[in-house]
Each structure stands twice: as C-alpha cells, then as structure tokens.
A and B are shown apart, each in its own frame.
Chain A
C-alpha cells in the first residue's frame, strides 16, 4: 500500500513550519538590532547600556525568548528603547508560542492521520485548534474521518451480519443438502416400494383372475348340483308315491293271503274229513272180508290222497305264515321308506336352499373377484404412473441435491469471504 509514502511530507512541512519562526525571529532580531542601532545613533549611548541591549539580544538569539532588557540598567535614555524592544520581544514570544502550539496541533493531527493510515485507528482523531488557518482544514478532516468512522462502523456491523447470515445460509444449505439427500434416498425407497406394490398388484390381479375362474367353475358345479338336487327331490317324490303304491299293494296282498288262509283252512278241513272217511271206508272194506279188499285198497289210496292234501295244506299254511311275516316286514319297510323319503325330500329341499345360497355367494364372489381384477389393473396403471413420476421426482431431487451442494459450496465461500471482510474491517477501529 501506498499509505506509507506520504509519511515524509507532513514531517517536512512540519520542519518547514518550524524553520519559519526561527527565520522570523532572526528577522525580528535584526530589526530590533537596527532599531537599537538607530536609537544609539540618535542618542549617545553609554557602553553599559549598550552591553545590556546586546546581551539581551544575544540571549534572545541563542533561543531564550524570555530574555528581556533590564530597565534599571539602561537608564532614562534607554528606557523607552528597552520598553519597545521588550514589547517586540513579547510579541515575538507570543508569536513563537502560537507557532509552537499550532505545530503541536499539526503534529497531533499528523500522528492521528499516521495512526489512521498505519493501523486504521479512527478513534484517536480528537484534534482541535484555535488556528484560524488550520481550523477549516482540520474540521474538514474531522468531517471526513467522522464519515469514515460511520462507514467503518456500518461496514463492521454489516460484515458481522453478513458473516452470521452467511453462516446461516451455509447451515441452511447444508441442511438442505442433507435433507435433499435424504429425500433422494426416501424417493428411491418409495420408488422401490412402488415397484413392489406394482408387482404385488399384478399378483393380486392374477389371483383375482384365478379366483374369478374358480368361482365361475364353482358356479357351474353349483348349478349342476342344483339340477341334481331337483332331480333328487323328484326321484324322492317318485319313490314316496311308489312306496305308497307298494304299501297299498302289500295291504291288498295281505288281505289276499288271509283269504287264501281261510280257503286253505276249508281245504284242510275237507281233507281231514276225507282222511277220516277213507279210513272208515277202509275199515268197512276190511270188515267185508275178501269182497271188500279192492274197496279197502281204493279207500287207502283216497286216504293217501287226503294225507297228501293235508301235507300240501300244511306247507301252504307255513308259506302263508312266512308270507304274513314277510308282508308285515315289507309294510314296516314301506313305512320306514316312506318316512325316509319324506326326510330325504326335506333334506333335498334344505340342500336346494343351501345350493341356492352357494349360487348367490359364488355369484357375488365372482363379481367381487372381477371387480378386484379391474381395480388392481387400474391400480397397476396408477402405480406405473406413480413410478414414472417418482423417477422424475428423483431426477429433480438429484438436480436439487447437486444445486444444493453447489449452494453449500458457494455459501461456504461466502462465509469465508464474510470472515475475511470482517477481519479486514476489524483493522479499522471506529470507537
């Protein structure tokens, strides 16, 4: 920086300023010397008086401006001259003092400026002057420095705020980056899940399709079952009416058999009587002797016939008994069959109702499966759309992540810059 280069100028000026009073003083002294010479020329001056003047002037010339011509030494003649000379010296001293004061003030101002330039310290500017010539200059400097102070203060504040804002931006963009990374991961997971969902819905659609097929088959089977049950009920009714006919036939058969029984009883009675008659005839023939022999043989034959009849009727009776038992059993069986067919009909009706229920249920199942199939197909389409959208979102998120990374980098750089700025601005001390 070129802040150091103007360093020599103020000092040279100061030196120039310091030389000036010395030459002036020399001037003044020479004047005073001339005046005192003129006074001496006009009036005759005593050597002692002269010496007092010269000593005083020599002392003044050596730098002591406080030196005055002692009035008691000069006497009456030199008093006025001494008084004038002393006045001159007084003015000279005052002027010198003023010069010194202003030089000090200028030095102070220069020191402040040097401090400002070297260390950026604006706080040390506190210079005032009574010098009417320097006053406006210093006042102008003061105004400039005050403005600079305000600037530095504001810049400092702004840099601090910028730094904190940049930090916040960095934090925010870091967080944003993290969350967009998380978002990307989440979107990826979501996409995977949606893929799975798609597969699952395809599976569901397939299953629903097979359920619908099975339900269709079940429907056919249940319809066949309904037909079969209808036929079963008809067959049961047929069996029942047949059973009633059988029971009637059995009752008729039973009556017939009873009739046969009575007829057989009659035949039996007749055969028994025939047996007795044949026996007695044989006895008669036997009593008739040789003449009745043939008669006896015929009678014996008749008796054998009657006995045959009796054997036959006995067999018939046994058969009738068996038939009676059999018909009783058949009647019981017919009765049992009747009640069984009745309960069979009832069961058939119940089964028909159940099959109707099954039919309705299977119809509903089939419809529901079809609806599920459609819905899952729609769901699959929707899922595919969602997957596509998710892919787009993933792309966008990747871009966002990229952008937020860049933003984070930029924010970091910004933070660094803000820190640097704050560092730089710290060099300027405002307060």
Chain B
C-alpha cells in the first residue's frame, strides 16, 4: 500500500527501510514491517524451540517471540547487552521481536538504487530483497524480505 502511494506521489519512487546492525551484518527491513523499537529486556528461554528463537518477552500484555537473525542466517550468535535493541516486526498476523545491536535509523532509499542480491550466494540470499551500496563496501546494507523471513522462521519452528 505504501509503495504504491510513494510511486504515485514521487517521480522518483522511494522505499523506506528500518536499518540496523547485528554482529557484522548491516541489514534493512521495510519500515511498514516495523511496529516499534524497544530495549531488549529480560528474555525467557523457551524449551523445544529452534536455536534462532532466543526466548520470549512480554510486550504490551502479549508474549513476543524474539528471533536471533545471526543464528537464523547462520552468521554467528547475537549477544544481549544494555544497549541492545529489540524491534517488533510484523508481517500480516505474525509478530516477532528481532535483536539488533544498533539501530541505524529510517532511510528512504530510491528503488532504482536497490541492486538484486548476488547470485550463487549462501542460503541467506533467498531472504534478501536486494542490496544497497553505500559510500564504501562497509556501508552497503542488505535489505531483507521480512515477510518471507518470518514465514520461513515460522515454518522452521513449526517443523520441529
């Protein structure tokens, strides 16, 4: 709905991404998939869940599962410190908390600058929308297809 409006209004269509860093990864998630940002509070580990589910935490009276994207993408393991953020991601009726070391902020990225994900990449490439090159190689951000990612995560969790 939002992309349509952006395309309609602007000559150069843009898409807004919620950008963050976890471990060595710089990732972006479409801002419509983000409800709000929290501090990572106390997590209650859940038994019999995949390793990327770090546990659950209470949020506004609901139980929110917390996902470790590093484990999910097989890029290591997230650590929770005093500055660690937790954003509440939503896709349809699925809501999950995602651990982020630092929030880079909301960025409006022209659609034309979004490059396709590199071919022959690893398994994580299937959840990518594309890649945005920054000023340097360090500044490039991988844009995630959060809906698909959440779906896959749910499937994996259920499959167990």
Contacts and interface: CB of A to CB of B under 8 A. Distances in A.
Given A286-B16, A289-B5, A280 B83 contact: no
Interface in A275-312: 275-276, 279-280, 282-283, 286-287, 289-290, 296, 300, 303
Interface string B29-58: 001101111110000000000000000000
Interface residues of A, number: 14
Contacts of A272: 39, 83
B70 interface: no
B103 interface: yes
Contacts of B2: 289
Contacts of B32: 287
Chain B CB within 10 A, most for which of A275, A283, A296, A300? A283
A300 B105 contact: yes
Given A276-B38, A289-B5, A283 B106 contact: yes
Contact of A296 (B35, B36, B106): B106
Contacts of A280: 36-37
A222 to B, nearest CB: 69
B159 interface: no
A303 B35 CA distance: 17
Given A283-B31, A286-B16, A286-B31, A276 B106 contact: no
B146 interface: no
Contacts, number: 33
B105 A279 contact: yes
Contacts of A275: 103
A272 B81 CA distance: 13
Contacts of B38: 276
B37 A276 contact: yes
A283 B34 contact: yes
A303 B105 contact: yes
Nearest to B5: A289
B108 to A, nearest CB: 9
B105 A283 contact: no
B9 interface: yes
B5 A286 contact: no
A331 B38 CA distance: 43
A279 B37 contact: yes
Contacts of B103: 275, 279
A289 B36 CA distance: 16
Interface in A158-213: none
Contacts of A276: 37-39, 85
Nearest to B38: A276
Contacts of B85: 276
A286 B29 CA distance: 14
Nearest to B9: A290
A283 B83 contact: no
Interface string B1-37: 0100100010000001010000000000001101111
A272 B103 CA distance: 12
Interface string B104-133: 011000000000000000000000000000
Contacts of A286: 16, 31, 106
Contact of A282 (B5, B35, B83, B106): B106
A100 B30 CA distance: 213
A283 B30 CA distance: 11
A300 B83 contact: no
B128 to A, nearest CB: 22
Contacts of B83: 272
Contacts of B39: 272, 276
A404 to B, nearest CB: 129
Nearest to A307: B105
A283 B5 contact: no
Nearest to A275: B103
A383 B103 CA distance: 113
A-B pairs with lowest CB-CB distance, top 5: A279-B37, A280-B36, A286-B31, A282-B106, A280-B37
